[in-house]
Amino acid sequence: MNPSSPSSSPFRRSNSTPNPSQDLFSAPRHATATFRLIYTSTSCLSAFLLFHTAVWWPRHVFGSHPFASTKSCWDLSGSVVTLGFLDTDYDDKNGALKYFFLAQAAYQLHSLCFHMVSMLLLLLYGGGSGRTKDSATRVVASWFRKIWRRPQNQQQQRQQQQLESIRIISMKTSTQSYIRPMVEHVIVLALLMGAYLFSGLRRLGALGIFTLELSSVFLQLLQVCIYAPEKSWWRKPSVVIFVHRFLTIPTFIYCRFFVLPFVVWYSAAFESQEWLEQIEKVFSPGWGERIYTVFNGLLCLIFALNLVLFRRLLFHPHLRQIVKQQREGSQ
């Protein structure tokens, strides 16, 4: 999901006070949001076309099978992918699920590496002004610059100091804003790798991924609007507010606070008992309980992260500023 996507985290903390140097960060954020919007849209469309006719794809997410139910995820003829003779392809979806999970794992791994590189760049080039910059960050950043940067003359050093004075993202704040998405990517990667091994979890996992990324489509659309060029139609306050209030928030609530807990999580918690008993017979006693605990525990963490993200979605500083601008313009 933007479980996302499992895709990923759409918002970053930023100073709520206007700053001209904010434009320096809008272009890369706009480009990143555009890429994620394209990816999540393509992923959702692919999942829908591949799986919407499956018996385990419920109507809550636009399934078309007349007897669709998440109970069908736990067909006892499916078992473990590493034991091919036990993992019967009872619905002819194993091939599609294989490539779907491969694409999802690649995206999550890419996003995790992207966040790690971004944090390193913030360590090197980020930070507040000389007065507000964290001392530990200043020491570490100085150490990296001595290693990787060429010697500078006095004029270049003065120019560098001037650039430092207009930095608007402190390392402390930026690092905190990257912690949640990085944790989310790690959790989703663990879910993807674990879910793919087992037929029931594989199908329920695909359903959960689609649910999270359907919400992420509109989260990324909101990001595209917020960080669009200043004079762009997408940047208009009326457009941003419409996307936020009538597209992003409703889909977020439906997908992440209804489908995820009451369809996906419910199925994992209460409809998987016979399948787990079979897993214990294949391996050894206690395996079913471990799988049950780990998978449901990770779903619980994703739901908790969604609560944090929803709070930021409601009180995002850029949105407050846009609403304020619209009110001032109407007056």
**Mean pLDDT in each 10-residue stretch from start to end of the chain (331 residues)?**
50 43 64 93 96 94 94 76 57 87 92 82 58 46 51 59 49 58 84 83 92 96 91 90 95 97 95 87 84 91 92 85 74 63
Asked whether 56 and 70 are in contact (CB, 8 A), the reply is yes
The C-alpha angle with vertex 283 and arms to 280 and 287, in degrees rounded to 5, equals 50
Q: How far is it, in rounded angstroms, from Cα 306 to Cα 310? A: 6
Report residue 208 as tokens.
Answer: 């959960």
CA-nearest of 59, 82, 76, 171 to 124 is: 171
Write phi, then psi, for 5 (nearest 5 degrees). 0, 125
C-alpha count within 13 angstroms, C-beta hemisphere, residue 277: 6
Asked whether 193 and 11 are in contact (CB, 8 A), the reply is no
Model pLDDT, residue 191: 87
Model pLDDT, residue 46: 96
pTM: 0.76
